Structure 1
Amino acid sequence: MKGIGASPGIAIGRAVIHWKEQIDILREFVEEPERELERFRTALEFAGEQIRETYSRVLESVGPGEAAIFRSHGMMLKDPDFVGQIERMILDGSVNAEWAVKQVADSLIQIFESMGNDYMKARSDDVKDISDRVIKLLLQVGGIDLSNLREPSIIVARELTPSDISQMDREMTLGMVSETGGKTSHTAILARTLEIPAVMGVRKLLDEVENDDLMIIDGETGQVFVNPDGETVERYRERLDRYECFRKSLTEVRGMKTVTLDGVEIELEANVASPKDLDDVFKNDGEGVGLYRTEFLYFDSSLLPPEDTQFEQYRDVVVAMTGRPVVIRTLDIGGDKKLDYLSIPEEQNPFLGYRAIRLCLDRQEIFKVQLRAILRASAFGQVRILFPMISSLEELRSAKAILEETKEDLRSLGVPFDESIQSGIMVEVPSAAILSDHFARETDFFSIGTNDLIQYAVAVDRGNEKLSHLYSQYHPAVLRLIKTVLDNGKAAGIRVGMCGESAGDPKLIPILLGMGLTEFSMNPSSILQARWILRNLRKGDLEEAALKALSLGTAEEVEEYCSRLLQTLNLCR
């Protein structure tokens, strides 16, 4: 069987089927709807407690970015529209609570899915997860206890939610595979963060798998084998052994410089969302923070965080990095990341709408508070300011003008900051890539954000499972845009880095190096692997390979070429 490789790695083990979906909800008329209403409210209260516990656990063990998923779940449980519809249905129709929850949830899910964009698809998934939780509490049922598996297993389900992932015993979870889901789902992101091999979108999976079946899953290629023959098992055991050997060898490069065999120095930095992420940066020997996602500070607050709160968090990161660079991205809200207290109106195409720098330029009082906090933090180390979602020179000039106004305000108050602080732009919109020669004359550095650049370049909603095969970092058009940005940045003499997920893709790293990229920022867990690969490459030998990749016509051809190129490395010496 074939699905979508959602989280890399190989898992070989016995299947455990998570049958949580097998719940039939029947409509029942009740004589005392007020008692049924009280039953619903009690379930709602318990659900809220569970979500708060999950939020705290994920915040502590994974990080604020992943924990924000559960914060939004908790907010939905308090949504007067969602809760109010259920309560009215119970009282007006004298029906059982679980049936009312399912009816309201199904109606919302249908509305969200019909809108066909990433943000609404994420809202649909959230409603499914939340309504399932409440219904299970009402019926006092559930699937297997994923936190108490008896032996290492591969979890098999029709659908796996972030709540499921948060409950898994990592030591007993070899891998996971589901009928639904895609590479950009919240579940996939959590799986990659926890380094759990995962394959999603496997059609008719539950028709082919039974409990205790021997399974092999390949989170890189999306291959799934059920009760494979001995030859296949042996082949994948050898691959798994090589992979584990390679992972162990990564400790050898901790503390070493990232320098290619022909002497090209590379900067390997980390993407973080809060000071709590720095433990992973240090553990994996990151050379700086290439992307500080400040929006999660806003998500973790019920109101706009005040200047001092922001300053203290930014300062803590800057001080902890002891002189190493910290690139702080200004508020990137909108698209699939919304704050209820900002009252951002619903949009038909939120990824093309009121978000990121557009919101900040419109709400300058919010923007200036953040800029003041960042500037104050710059007095404690090497800080660079990064503007997201820049699509025109006019936006860049406006952002820089507001930055200069903010600097002048601080000067007049005698507040210290780094007078030579650099500001740059995220190149994540095709217009910015195409005009990067012009942008390079008016900014200090570029940071290529491939996650959004891909979806804008190929017109594919990265959350749409039906189109997930079209969303690819190997698309030749995306690579050509990256090459354009690298060439124009070099010609202007400015720094060019990459902070999207492509920067940590082992198959793409050789091609990106050959194209001229020397600053990579990625998930901290990917840093040592990237360093090992880069230290075994010669940039000069890869320039021709990069040109070959750029000459290919399809994403499939590029990916196959990158795979063959990477295989020339002896990953387990």
Structure 2
Amino acid sequence: MSLTVLSAGTGYGKAFQVHKNNLHYTETVDAKYEITHFLSIKQRVYQKLENLKNQSAMDEIITFQQAILNDQMFENEVKTKIKTKDITAKQALKEAMAHYIKTFEAMEDAYLKERVDDIIDLKERLSNGLDEVIQPVISEPIILVCDILYPSYLFEYEAHIQGIIVQSGSALSHGVILAKERNIPCVEVDQFEFHESDYIFLDTEHQQLLLNPDKHAVIGWLSAKQQSDSSLDIPHFPKRLYLNVSGETPLDPRYIEASDGIGLYRSEFLYFQHNRFPSIDKQVEIYGQFLKQCNPKPVVIRTYDFGDDKNPLNLGPVQRGVSDYFITYEKPFIEQLSAILVLNETYSNLKVMIPMVKRRSDIDAVIQLMKTLQHKFGFSKNLPPVGVMIETEEAFMHLEEFSTVDFISIGSNDLGKSLFHIDRHTTIDEVTYANQIIKAIEEIDQFAKHHQISCTVCGDIASRPYALKKMLESQINSFSIPMPFLKEAKQIIKQYKNKNMKS
């Protein structure tokens, strides 16, 4: 058996396999019934997605799937096929979905190509509904076993999943990314025989996949896993470790205590979580919770960053950049800055980050708008620190224009794409990726140090062990990382310190 780790961790539970259904329909088709049945199931799936979206800090996956369900052309295509070809709703659905899949597979953008999995995932939801598949009741921890990990499996069974085994997977797939965010171990295996009465123990660190292990041994292993949380207590100073947070993700107090604050709050995920822009009051409530919980540690709120893979479907094409704040969604941006200024009157640990800047004029325009709003509201307190995320080729080529900003964050994902055409959804080995992007990061970091500006590395590169070690060797000292990586980052910093002390 070949085992590949997609998401690290330890888990134990009863085997639970997601089955493919093999129900068949009769040849006689009642078109009126099939259409009514399809519309009923479509609405039921839409509402189920809506309920799931409201229960967790989601990204744009559900919004994308709901957009397909709302597509009138998709609905008309299914109904037309049922009536003209005398086929069942399920057969018509299969053909209609094949059109979507073909369209997205033909796209050049690597991220959009990965949307194919989300389309197949939606097709499975609809097909299961059309077949009236009854999901079994789960009452204990499980190890989920499936051919491909679709996001819907996590949404359906998240409360019970302790580990995941897939036959085919990618560390960059949506399902695996969601598993990582939830600290759920996931492995890909080429073959695995088991019965659904079996219990499985999964330990990625030791490459273990055990059937029906001794329960006393399992208790010991799981206890050791809990003790590993002591890694959070490892000191990392004078290095700085901040957390990346999205939407309304709840923060574990232990991670707040063990880190230096929030280095990147992705505010645009509030839109994708609720499928609409949050009101000023709602933003004040959400941002305020983080500011209060982290105080006095800083909370860096990145203003809305839409475009490419994060595009509100009702806004149409979005060109990323600050100019879009004043064109495509001026009203939501003004409301966001208004909420930030309201909170600035109460909290002193608030910082504002402007993404996708190209030249100094971008940040000047935002600061001027903030001053206008401040005067409008009658606020007298100084503006909060305003920094930039360096992630475009233009900003990188004109660093000197940012010599007086309050702070700099390095958006490694988009910077790599802009400078080296490295797409984070394209498979590339860690060493090659790190060696290319770190050279640019070093240049930005040295510029910031020369001008005495705080500089933090964000994005995927900061949570890759090899890359983190390389950046430490380059005297880069500040990183913003996902919560699950905090313990490992502290261990890496400790090893780095011990190595330097010996030498």
Give me the TM-score of the superposition, normalised by structure 1: 0.75
* Alignment-derived partner of residue 379 in structure 2: 415
1:98 aligns with 2:90: yes
The answer to whether the 8 A contact 2:431-2:467 is kept is: no
Distance 2:305 2:480 in 1: 18
User: Can you list the C-alpha shifts for 1:256-281, whole angstroms capped at 9, x where unaligned?
Assistant: 7532xxxxx22222112245523467
Q: Is the 8 A contact 2:54 2:274 kept in 1?
A: no
CA distance change for structure 1 residues 487 and 25 in 2, over 3 Å: closer, same or farther? farther
**1:486 and 2:445 correspond:** yes
- Per the alignment, residue 463 of structure 2 pairs with 504
2:13/2:162 contact within 8 Å kept? no
**1:250 alignment partner in structure 2:** 229
Distance across 2 between alignment mates of 1:542 and 1:434:
37
Query: How big is each residue's C-alpha offset from its partner over 1:490-544, in whole Å with a ceiling of 9 and x where there is no partner?
Result: 1121111122133233444333222222222222233244334434532882999
Is 1:370–2:336 an aligned residue pair? yes
In structure 1, what is the equivalent of residue 406 of structure 2? 444
Q: What is the TM-score when the length of structure 2 is the normalising length?
A: 0.84
In 2, Cα distance between equivalents of 1:190 and 1:272: 14
Give the SS at the match of 2:409.
strand
2:415 to 445, 453, 457: 453
Match of 2:32 in 1: 34
- Measured in 1, the distance between the counterparts of 2:284 and 2:478 equals 26
Describe the SS at the equivalent of 2:241: strand
Can you list the C-alpha shifts for 1:90-113, whole angstroms capped at 9, x where unaligned?
233332100111110111111111
- 1-side partners of 2:375 and 2:450: how far apart? 34
Larger mean Cα displacement after TM superposition, 210-219 or 440-449 = 210-219
Check conservation: 2:353, 2:387, Cα contact below 8 A.
yes
Amino acid at match of 1:446: I
Q: Which residue of 1 aligns with 2:138?
A: 148
Distance in 2 (alpha carbons) for counterparts of 1:496 and 1:81: 48
1:39 & 1:366 partners in 2: Cα distance?
Answer: 39
Q: Give 1:338's aligned residue.
A: 311
TM alignment of 1:146-225, pairs within 5 A = 148=138, 153=143, 155-168=144-157, 173-179=162-168, 181-200=169-188, 205=190, 208-212=191-195
8 A Cα contact 2:38 2:130, kept in partner:
yes
Compute the displacement of 1:460 (Å). Answer: 4.1
Structure 2 residue identity aligned to 1:148 = I
Distance 1:316 1:215 in 2: 39
Q: Residue 380 of structure 1: CA displacement? A: 2.1
The answer to whether the Cα contact below 8 Å between 2:301 and 2:353 also exists between their aligned partners in 1 is yes
Contact 2:14–2:200, Cα closer than 8 Å, also in 1: yes
Deviation for aligned residue 1:159: 1.2
Which of 322, 333, 336 is the aligned partner of 1:357?
A: 322
**Aligned equivalent of 2:265, options 292, 297, 311:** 292
User: In structure 2, do the counterparts of structure 1 residues 183 and 447 end up closer, same or farther at CA, with 3 Å as the change threshold?
Assistant: same
Q: Give, as a single letter, the amino acid of the residue that structure 1 aligns with 2:149.
A: L
1:471-550 mapped onto 2 (5 Å cutoff): 474-538=433-497, 541=500
1:45-77 Cα offsets, whole Å, 9 max, x none, are 3323432343344x1xxxx234x5334433432
1:144-173 CA deviation, whole Å, 9 max, x = no partner? 85x7387754x4432110111223366663
In structure 2, do the counterparts of structure 1 residues 431 and 273 end up closer, same or farther at CA, with 3 Å as the change threshold?
A: same
Letter in 2 for 1:489: A
Per the alignment, residue 319 of structure 1 pairs with: 292
1:400 paired residue among 337, 360, 364 = 364
Structure 2 equivalent of residue 563 of structure 1: none
* Counterparts in 2 of 1:282 and 1:469: CA distance versus 1, 3 Å: closer
Which of 383, 387, 399 aligns to 2:350? It is 383
Q: Which moved more, 1:2-11 or 1:373-382?
A: 2-11
Is this contact kept in 1: 2:151–2:175, CA < 8 A?
A: yes
Closer, same or farther in 2 for the Cα pair 1:300/1:35, shift >3 Å? same
Shift of 1:292: 1.0
Q: Quote the sequence identity (%).
A: 25
8 A Cα contact 1:274 1:297, kept in partner: yes
Q: Taking structure 1 as reference, are residues 311 and 151 closer, same or farther at Cα in structure 2, changes over 3 Å only?
A: closer
State the 1:329 CA deviation.
0.4
From the superposition, tell whether residues 450 and 275 of structure 1 become closer, same or farther in structure 2 (CA, over 3 Å).
Answer: same
1:266 aligns with 2:244: no
Paired with 1:286 and 1:199, the residues of 2 have a C-alpha distance of 29
The size of the alignment, in residue pairs, is 495
Relative to structure 1, the CA distance from residue 403 to residue 41 in structure 2 (aligned partners, 3 Å threshold; closer, same or farther) is same
Query: How far is 1:481 from its partner?
Result: 1.4
Structure 2 match to 1:553? none
User: Counterpart of 1:411 in structure 2: which amino acid?
Assistant: H
Letter in 2 for 1:383: L
Q: Give the letter for the 2:69 counterpart.
A: L
Shift of 1:291: 0.8
**Is residue 284–residue 525 contact of structure 1 (8 Å, CA) maintained in 2?**
no
Contact 1:4/1:183, CA 8 A, preserved across alignment: no
Classify the secondary structure of the residue corresponding to 2:345: helix
Rounded Cα–Cα distance in structure 1 between residues aligned with 2:228 and 2:122: 42
CA contact (8 A) 2:240 2:260 kept: yes
User: Would the aligned equivalents of 2:241 and 2:479 in 1 still touch at CA under 8 Å?
Assistant: yes
In 2 relative to 1, CA 371–472 (structure 1 residues): closer, same or farther, beyond 3 Å? farther
> Where do 5+ consecutive residues of structure 2 fail to align?
none
1:194 positional shift: 1.9
Query: Helix, strand or coil: the match of 1:137?
Result: helix
Residues 194 and 103 of structure 1: CA distance in aligned 2, closer, same or farther (over 3 Å)? same
* One-letter identity of the residue aligned with 1:398: D
Assess if the C-alpha contact under 8 Å between 1:215 and 1:224 holds in 2: no
Alpha carbons of structure 1 residues 137 and 280: separation in structure 2 relative to 1, 3 Å: farther
Q: What is the DSSP-based 3-state SS (H/G/I as helix, E as strand, rest coil) of the residue aligned with 2:496?
A: coil
Alpha-carbon distance change, 503 to 248 in structure 1, aligned in 2, over 3 angstroms: farther
Contiguous gaps of at least 5 residues in structure 1: 228-232, 260-264, 346-352, 545-573
Match of 1:85, as an amino acid?
E
Residue 44 in structure 1 maps to residue 42 in structure 2: yes
SS in structure 1 at match of 2:138: coil
